[in-house]
Amino acid sequence: MSFVEYGDTIKDGDTAIVFLGHESMFPVKVQHGTVTQTKYGVIRHSTDLIGKKYGSKVTCSKGGWVFILHPTPELWTMNLPHRTQILYSTDISIITMMLELKPGSIVCESGTGSGSLSHALIRTVAPTGHLYTVEFHQQRAEKAQEEFREHGVEHLVTVTNQDVCKNGFGVSNVADAVFLDIPSPWEAIGHAKSALKAEGGRICSFSPCIEQVQRTCLAMEEYGFTEINTLEILLRVYNVRTISLQIPDLGKAAEDNSSTGFDSSNPSHQGSPCANLQQGTVQFKSGVPLREVVGHTGYLTFATKS
């Protein structure tokens, strides 16, 4: 397994994802002799995991079962240990497309943070591209490097522990794209420009506050970037539910026995209300929005180096 290449069976040293059920999962480092505790019981790596196909069901000691999944950057994003606030797949998706990333791309990123975006970028530029990621916090830089190694992608990434605003990305005139998620991105625009290839390179800056965005856009303009465009993207998830609504009792008309106007002889079919006149309810399927949703992550500003 690796984060950039699918494998079929679980091997010693893999990072696998244990899926327990709706929205409940966690990553696990597969190792001979190790056991993992779950609420359904114990998983013994040597007998339950190693050699099994990814996607298999594994029964735990107490009888309950879990699924073992092949890692992907998206699953990693949902399960990685947070050292900082991270970017989620919704933002990551639009960033990837708007920066025109693909196999072979050279990308620069700062800050590395918890490596959520980093893993996604590495996956996209593999096998011939490279990620240069800069992190000014020493422990975070080291942790990221360690994770990249464990996940079999260290040949695709270079982690540098420095301040991008002072010292840049460590490369010049090669990057197809630069990504900034730092407190003062306007201070790094100049460095971003010199890291980017001569023409056509793309830049993206992510900032939670509009004031940061304003300063960054000005800086981009000053440095001659074109096609400056700011957007935000939000995810709306729907739960699929079968809903029953009661039919109100409006009483009977004088002699007329017809009730609510719903034709009870109408064979019910998918998608249309199904009247249950005896119980006075109508059933239908609905995509119900969640009660609490993410209202804001950050503004994404894109531009092109001319």
Partner 1 sequence: AMEGGPGARIREGDCAVLKRDEVFKAVSVLRRRKIIFEKQWFYLDNAIGHTYGTTFEVTSGGNLQPKQEVEETTTETKEAGTDNRNIVDDGKSQKLTHDDIKALKDKGIKGQEIVQQLIENSTTFRDKTEFAQDKYIKKKKKKYEAVITIVKPSTRILSTMYYAREPGKINHLRYDTLAQMLTLGNIHAGNKMIVLETCAGLVLGAVMERMGGYGSIIQMYPGGGPVRAATSCFGFPKPFFDNLHEFPLSKVHSLLSGTFTTETLPADPEDNALLEEESNGLSEEKQTSLQETEEESVPEAVMEINQTEEQETMDINAEDVEFKETKEKENKENVREKQIKQWERRKKLIEAAALLREKNADGLIVASKFHPTPLLLSLLEFVAPSRPFVVYCQYKEPLLECYTKLRERGGVINLKLSETWLRNYQVLPDRSHPKLTMSGGGGYLLSGITVVLDKGRSDPSNSEALKVEEPSSKRCKLQDLHC
> Nearest CA to 193 among 136, 91, 108?
108
Nearer to partner 1 by Cβ, of 223 and 280: the residue is 223
**Residue 36 tokens, joined:** 């993992």
239 near partner 1 (CB under 8 A): yes
Nearer to partner 1 by Cβ, of 50 and 94: the residue is 94
* CA 92 to each of CA 82, 100, 227, 259, 284: distance values in angstroms, whole numbers, following the listed order: 16, 12, 20, 53, 35
Q: How many residues bind partner 1 (CB under 8 A)?
A: 73
Distance CA 159, CA 257 (A): 77
Site for partner 1 in 244-303 (CB under 8 A): 270-271, 285-287, 299, 301
Q: Is the dihedral of CA 41, 42, 48, 49 positive or negative?
A: positive
> Nearest CA to 10 among 61, 64, 77, 56?
56
Q: Which stretch binds partner 1 (CB under 8 A): 117-125, 137-145, 153-161, 163-171?
A: 117-125
115 near partner 1 (CB under 8 A): no
**Residue 184 tokens, joined:** 């003062």
Q: How far is the CB of 210 from partner 1 (least distance, A)?
A: 6
11 near partner 1 (CB under 8 A): no
Q: How far is the CB of 283 from partner 1 (least distance, A)?
A: 13
Site for partner 1 in 85-114 (CB under 8 A): 89-90, 92-94, 96-98, 100, 102-106
Nearer to partner 1 by Cβ, of 64 and 170: the residue is 64
Helices 89-98 and 116-125, packing angle to 10 deg: 40
Q: What is the largest CA-CA distance in the chain?
A: 88
Site for partner 1 in 154-183 (CB under 8 A): 173, 176
Nearer to partner 1 by Cβ, of 105 and 136: the residue is 105
Give backbone dihedrals phi and psi of 26, rounded to 5 degrees, phi first: -155, 155
Distance CA 108, CA 174 (A): 10
Q: Which residue of 11, 32, 39, 57 would you call a contact of partner 1, by CB under 8 A?
A: 57
Alpha-carbon radius of gyration of the chain: 26
Q: How far is the CB of 231 from partner 1 (least distance, A)?
A: 5
Annotated binding site for S-adenosyl-L-methionine: 114-117, 135, 163, 181
Residue whose entry in the numeric block shows the structure tokens 């013994």 = 44
Nearer to partner 1 by Cβ, of 100 and 142: the residue is 100
Here's the x/- map for partner 1, 192-231, by CB under 8 A: it reads as -----xxxx---------x--xx--xx---------xxxx
Site for partner 1 in 120-149 (CB under 8 A): 120, 123-124, 126-129
Distance CA 2, CA 14 (A): 8
Q: Which residue of 36, 43, 49, 70 would you call a contact of partner 1, by CB under 8 A?
A: 70
184 near partner 1 (CB under 8 A): no
Nearer to partner 1 by Cβ, of 141 and 212: the residue is 212
- Contact present, 240 and 290 (Cβ < 8 Å): no
Distance CA 277, CA 262 (A): 9
Q: How far is the CB of 221 from partner 1 (least distance, A)?
A: 10
Q: How far is the CB of 104 from partner 1 (least distance, A)?
A: 5
Distance CA 140, CA 142 (A): 5
